[in-house]
Amino acid sequence: MKTKTKYLEFKTKEKIELVNITHQVEEVVRESGVQEGLCLVNSMHITSSVFINDEESGLKEDYKKWLEELAPYDRKRYKHNLTGEDNAHAHLKRQIMGREVVIAVTGGRLDLGTWEQIFYGEFDGQRKKRVLVKMMGK
Amino acid sequence: MKTKTKYLEFKTKEKIELVNITHQVEEVVRESGVQEGLCLVNSMHITSSVFINDEESGLKEDYKKWLEELAPYDRKRYKHNLTGEDNAHAHLKRQIMGREVVIAVTGGRLDLGTWEQIFYGEFDGQRKKRVLVKMMGK
Amino acid sequence: MKTKTKYLEFKTKEKIELVNITHQVEEVVRESGVQEGLCLVNSMHITSSVFINDEESGLKEDYKKWLEELAPYDRKRYKHNLTGEDNAHAHLKRQIMGREVVIAVTGGRLDLGTWEQIFYGEFDGQRKKRVLVKMMGK
């Protein structure tokens, strides 16, 4: 059995940003030498997500607007912000979008559908964050 | 280590449909010969989900109504639809319901709780879509 | 390849409760002897979640309030409750928070970020429920 662990680092310019990380994950798959197996990609933070969707600029705007409707920034709305934080909304947004994806590796490559792209979803950015990629297979 | 990959195909009659795929996944587990391991089941599309919940017709109606409230079809609401699509809502609904499930395989069978059933959740159907089942274990 | 399966049992005092289970999962990792691999933790029920977020009491209150807004208890709102149940809302809340997490195991330990804590999210409690922990690796 082969395994490989890699930590990707991100520091987004904006507080909320959706970053396409597909190529970086593909590179880890190649480095691992795994031909058949599973690839876990997860945020190591609780105010950001890893998710799979479409690389289309309009849709990325739609996601941001929609998440703001479902879980508004509104600093005074949340008890968590009494700790001095202002990021309660980011904890909620991340639950909608998810923490992680698990992707099949087939024939040495990520076994993704035609339009599937992997994103790091940052909801409390402008500081250093990490994404973990774990490969396991043969 | 044993692995097995299978692609299931779906073309739903309705635009939005929740299809129970538990038996089809169980069949892949049997075919794989894996006794102990993990089973990944994911949509290969970005407007549909794989999720686990209850096979109860009322609840399935509740899900559809609820998702329509949280992420309405409303064609003019979304920038993504300026590309000529009308399925932005389906991209959002799928994030609520999730892309994938990972299920334990124990003693050669899906290790599911009593009421756990696996569903393909289609939110932009009436065309051919695929679900990937990846087995890995011993 | 090493695997290990363990079932954790919970019976919460409240109907809705978020229980930190990080230490219990860590114990299963140790018992498994796995140094490099994956750890699946999932609810075996369809009205509860396993998710990763922050151990902060204000945030836990925020989650409960927010989930009640997105998927209210309101008994008469749901067709599922015509079966005699009153827990349709719990089926919906669980979809927001998710069924499972998959966690990397590195150097014999859960490879979690600084603030990542694992929670059992109960939305229809006061009865016995189970969480499955499946270890797989080398």
- Residue in chain C closest to A4 (alpha carbons) equals C36
Alpha-carbon distances, residue B57 vs B54, B87, C66, C82 (angstroms): 9, 25, 27, 11
Q: Per residue in C77-95, pLDDT tens?
A: 999 999 999 999 999 999 9
Q: How far is A47 from chain B (nearest CA, A)?
A: 16
Q: What is the mean pLDDT of chain C?
A: 98
User: How many Å apart are CA B76 and CA B57, to the nearest integer?
Assistant: 31
Crossing angle, helix B88-97 and helix A88-97, to 10 degrees? 100
Q: Per residue in A35-87, pLDDT tens?
A: 999 999 999 999 999 999 999 999 999 999 999 999 999 999 999 999 999 99
| Amino acid at residue number B129 | K
Q: Per residue in B112-128, pLDDT tens?
A: 999 999 999 999 999 99
- Residue in chain C closest to A87 (alpha carbons) equals C59
Subunits next to A (3 or more Cβ pairs <8 Å) are: B, C
B38 and A38 Cβ atoms separated by less than 8 Å: yes
Q: Per residue in C102-136, pLDDT tens?
A: 999 999 999 999 999 999 999 999 999 999 999 99
- Per-residue pLDDT at A76: 97
B39 and B25 Cβ atoms separated by less than 8 Å: yes
User: Which positions ≥6 away from C126 have C-beta within 8 Å?
Assistant: C11, C12, C13, C14, C15
- Per-residue pLDDT at C47: 98
Q: How far is A13 from chain C (nearest CA, A)?
A: 22
What is the DSSP code string of chain A? -EEEEEEEEE--SSSSEEEE-HHHHHHHHHHHT-SSEEEEEEESSSSEEEEEE---HHHHHHHHHHHHHHS---GGG-GGGGGT-S-HHHHHHHHHH-SEEEEEEETTEE---TT-EEEEEESS-SS-EEEEEEEEE-
| Amino acid at residue number C134 | K
User: How many Å apart are CA A49 and CA C137, to the nearest integer?
Assistant: 25
- What is the token pair recorded at C22? 């990080």
Q: What is the mean pLDDT of residues B103-120?
A: 98
Q: How far is B11 from chain A (nearest CA, A)?
A: 16
Burial of C76 (0-12, 13-18, 19+ CB in 10 A): exposed
- Per-residue pLDDT at A2: 98
Alpha-carbon distances, residue B108 vs B30, B36, B138 (angstroms): 7, 6, 10
- ipTM (interface pTM): 0.97
Instruction: For residue C138, give the nearest of C34, C21, C11 by alpha carbon.
Output: C34
Q: Which chain A residues are closer than 8 Å to C101 by Cβ?
A: 99-100
Binning pLDDT at 50, 70 and 90, where does residue B57 land?
A: very high
Q: What is the mean pLDDT of residues C23-42?
A: 98
The reply to whether the predicted model has a pTM over 0.90 is yes
